[in-house]
Copies of this chain bind each other. A is one copy, B any other.
Amino acid sequence: ERTHCNLILQMEGENNDKFFTHPRNPKALAAYLFAHNHLFYMMELLTGLLLMVLSLSEAPAVPSLRLDVYVHATLELLALVMVAFELCMKLRWLGFHTFIRHKRTMVKTCVLLLQFVEAIVVLIRQTSHLRVTRALRPIFLVDCRYCGAVRRNLRQIFQSLPPFIDILLLLLFFMVIFGTVSYGFVWLFSSQYFNTLENSIVSLFVLLTTANFPDVMMPAYSRNRWSCVFFIIYLSIELYFIMNLLLAVVFDTFNGVEKMKFKSLMLHKRSAIDHAFQLLVSRQRPMGLSLKQFDGLMRFYRPRMSARDRFLTYKALNTAGAPMLSLDDFYKFYEVIGLKWKARRSGEHWFDDLPHTTFLIFKGINLLVKSKAFQYTMCKWTSIISSGFSSSRIVPWSYIVFLTIYGVEVLLKVTGMGPLAYFSSGWNLFDFFVTVFAFLGLIALAFDMEPFYFIVVLRPLQLLRLFKIKQRYRNVLDTMFELFPRMASLGLTLIIFYYSFAIVGMEFFADVVYPNCCNTSTVADSYRQINVTIGNRTVLDEGYYYLNNFDNILSSFVTLFELTVVNNWYITMEGVTSMTTHWSRLYFMTFYIVTMVVMTIIVAFILDAFVFRMNYSRKNKEPLLDPEGKVFEAEVSRDEALATLELYKQTCPGLSSLNSLQGVLVAMDRSGSSFLVYLGRRSRTKSDLSMKMYEEEIQEWYAEYSRENLPQSDRSLVERELEIPPPCPDPEPQPNSQGPLSIN
């Protein structure tokens, strides 16, 4: 029963799996447990990565990483076999019926089969054929447990698509209208950009990205000055209005999806807790959960947690101090589960326990480094140091002096605040590394170590210290740190799109452009590489654009990044088009639209995160990044601790878990008081913030939810599903004699 309950808590609240995917029999349960641990996840991840990395050494390979066909094909087969094994485990766990119904898994299976066939064909033919299907490889990576964030991003992107496409059609519609209008004024627009209807529309598409702006206008403008009106109207409608509309629509959909996601997560957690509670409470006492039951659950749920922490977690849940945990108490389960517990110290400094003289010295240093004057002086110095810095190799004396001062500052701070407190702040970490880097740079200079000069070059980063002073910058940089995981997942999503496009690009456009190619196109200049004689000097006139090619996956990535930045992207497009067919434009235009969607979402996300942050701190009139994080309190009296120890001695006599509880008693003895207050801390998550922002909505959601799902009916459902026997009666509780703090 506890296992089931544990499973439900884990699957629902943490893994966020759907009910119908729960294992249905012991064999399935074994497969489920096998497939749900970090070793297995790691294997999934590595297989996915291996498959993607393979394209570095396949056919149009990076020169230094080229592998023989049989090597990389064998590696690929190996990886595919591992994927197949993973899928088999999933089949065992889900059962054939559910497996078929699970869309993502089915797509993965199909792609796997296809890749298998292709890999075998490659092995047999000993040469790579046109393998566009390699573009589907990211599916194996995306499906792995650790890439949940990427999967969510992809889902959000696909959900934003319908309104996006609507507006896109509007955009294309105006493009066609303007295209035909320009075609109507043939006498005015008869330049290379507007000579055919196709060229007109392509020119207008590129104009939408502004990449060919004034150039596209210039021939007409030189003929008649009023022709600029056409371009001004076009850009005003398309670029400044409809493109912003796209941003607005994506922003709005994104916000809605975000809120819905949060809602479903909250309700999922609540239903998991409901189920677990129903399974845990015994028939005799349907009122609540005793410490013993809770402890038993936790031993399964978090095997590494010490007995003391389990006890403290129970105390944190049991805010009313009642003998049992009620369902309402239990609802906070996911909030308190990750707390790090620590006894509240009488003093706040690490040197409080030192002898008196030493204490006074450290206290003085502590006061000094925390004073405004000290911080101001250091900032002043920074500005002096940076205004006078040069990137020459001669280090001025002032620099060394100031660096020494920084070094002393770091030392003072470490001693004054204690190493732990010091390094727990991101800003101090930053200070520390900047100073250490500066010292390393000095050493590199002194001993003339060429390869480390880049450290010297990073010297101006010192200036970043200045930004600590102003609240707005702290806010911005804090948000930046906070956004980082999410931005990373969005970046990963972008890379996955890049990968697919890079594969397609390599299959079709590898070795298509080279110096002095594309002479038939309008952008031939950019691909030229000729020796020009100016006066009596011979200069190599290089267009360089032949470097933006799809010759291997790394080059492709750089080319795609350039296409993402958009400026001059049409040069790459026209170059490739002139060496292949007109249909190549479809590839580049599709890529532009796809990156536009992803970039719009990134922009919308950054906007959202900042506006949320600013609204939040305005609404709640407190800084968002409370340095304390989320704090829970639990007061433990001597009697309680003893009783709990007694309980543990009966139920699980392992020595290790008892030690932690005995530690509590020892601490009480030392401080001489009959109780101790423990503080449980964890950093605030986005979920905490969202809970505060959507406070009212959440109450509505819960009310709606409980109207729909009455826990009674749930229970029987779950029991029927898992086919478990009715819970066996608990051992008789101890006589309830120790008042409200008794532990049963």
Q: Is A213 an interface residue (CB 8 A)?
A: yes
How far apart are A287's CB and chain B's nearest CB, in angstroms? 39
Contact residue among B167, B170, B548, B603 (Cβ-Cβ distance under 8 Å from A244): B603
A182: nearest residue on chain B (CB-CB)? B457
B183 touches A391 (CB 8 A): yes
Q: How far is the CA of A564 from the CA of B519 in the complex (A)?
A: 33
User: Quick one: which of A208-226 are within 8 Å of B by CB?
Assistant: 210-215, 218-219, 221-222, 225
Contact residue among B212, B221, B458 (Cβ-Cβ distance under 8 Å from A181): B458
CB-CB contacts of A450-485 with B at 8 A, as 1s and 0s? Answer: 000110111111011001001011001000100000
Q: How far is the CA of A120 from the CA of B481 in the complex (A)?
A: 61
Q: How far is the CA of A180 from the CA of B391 in the complex (A)?
A: 7
Q: Is A568 an interface residue (CB 8 A)?
A: yes
A614 touches B544 (CB 8 A): no
Q: How far is the CA of A562 from the CA of B251 in the complex (A)?
A: 28
CB-CB contacts of A244-273 with B at 8 A, as 1s and 0s? Answer: 110111011001000000000000000000
Q: Is A565 an interface residue (CB 8 A)?
A: yes
Contact residue among B240, B456, B614 (Cβ-Cβ distance under 8 Å from A184): B456
Report B-chain residues with C-beta under 8 Å of the C-beta of A460. 176-177, 180-181
Contact residue among B214, B252, B607 (Cβ-Cβ distance under 8 Å from A548): B214
Q: Is A34 an interface residue (CB 8 A)?
A: no
Q: Is A554 an interface residue (CB 8 A)?
A: yes
Binding site for B on A (CB under 8 A): 163, 166-167, 170, 173, 176-177, 180-181, 183-185, 210-215, 218-219, 221-222, 225, 228, 232, 235, 239-241, 244-245, 247-249, 251-252, 255, 391, 453-454, 456-461, 463-464, 467, 470, 472-473, 476, 480, 542, 544-545, 547-548, 554-555, 558, 561-562, 565-568, 599, 602-603, 606-607, 610-611, 614-615
B610 touches A249 (CB 8 A): yes
A548: nearest residue on chain B (CB-CB)? B214
* Number of copies of this chain that the complex holds: 2
B245 touches A606 (CB 8 A): yes
Report B-chain residues with C-beta under 8 Å of the C-beta of A170. 467, 473, 476
Given the interface pairs A252-B610, A461-B177, the reply to whether A547 lies near B222 with Cβ below 8 Å is yes
Report B-chain residues with C-beta under 8 Å of the C-beta of A222. 542, 544, 547
Q: How far is the CA of A356 from the CA of B183 in the complex (A)?
A: 53
How far apart are A25's CB and chain B's nearest CB, in angstroms? 45
A558 touches B228 (CB 8 A): yes
Report B-chain residues with C-beta under 8 Å of the C-beta of A464. 173
Report B-chain residues with C-beta under 8 Å of the C-beta of A467. 170, 173
Given the interface pairs A558-B228, A567-B567, the reply to whether A247 lies near B607 with Cβ below 8 Å is yes
Q: How far is the CA of A247 from the CA of B614 in the complex (A)?
A: 13
A567 touches B211 (CB 8 A): yes
Given the interface pairs A544-B218, A611-B251, the reply to whether A566 lies near B458 with Cβ below 8 Å is no
A609: nearest residue on chain B (CB-CB)? B248
A166 touches B473 (CB 8 A): yes
B248 touches A566 (CB 8 A): no
Contact residue among B177, B228, B252 (Cβ-Cβ distance under 8 Å from A614): B252
Report B-chain residues with C-beta under 8 Å of the C-beta of A212. 567
A457 touches B184 (CB 8 A): yes
Given A184-B391, A222-B544; 9 other pairs, CB 8 A cutoff: A170-B476, A176-B460, A232-B561, A239-B565, A240-B599, A240-B603, A244-B607, A248-B607, A248-B611
How far apart are A445's CB and chain B's nearest CB, in angstroms? 12
B184 touches A454 (CB 8 A): yes
How far apart are A541's CB and chain B's nearest CB, in angstroms? 11
A215 touches B547 (CB 8 A): no
Given the interface pairs A163-B472, A170-B473, A244-B606, the reply to whether A218 lies near B547 with Cβ below 8 Å is yes
How far apart are A536's CB and chain B's nearest CB, in angstroms? 18
B210 touches A252 (CB 8 A): no
Report B-chain residues with C-beta under 8 Å of the C-beta of A247. 603, 607
Report B-chain residues with C-beta under 8 Å of the C-beta of A611. 248, 251-252, 255
Identify 19 residue pairs between A and B in the complex whose beta-carbon atoms are under 8 Å apart, listed by A's number.
A166-B470, A166-B472, A173-B464, A176-B463, A177-B461, A184-B456, A210-B565, A213-B562, A214-B562, A222-B542, A225-B555, A235-B565, A245-B476, A245-B610, A248-B606, A248-B610, A252-B610, A252-B615, A255-B611
Q: How far is the CA of A105 from the CA of B697 in the complex (A)?
A: 49
Q: How far is the CA of A225 from the CA of B63 in the complex (A)?
A: 13
How far apart are A401's CB and chain B's nearest CB, in angstroms? 21
Report B-chain residues with C-beta under 8 Å of the C-beta of A610. 245, 248-249, 252
Report B-chain residues with C-beta under 8 Å of the C-beta of A561. 228, 232
Q: How far is the CA of A470 from the CA of B548 in the complex (A)?
A: 42
Q: Top 7 closest A-B pairs, CB basis? A: A184-B457, A218-B544, A248-B610, A213-B567, A210-B567, A244-B606, A177-B460
B476 touches A167 (CB 8 A): yes
Report B-chain residues with C-beta under 8 Å of the C-beta of A184. 391, 453-454, 456-457
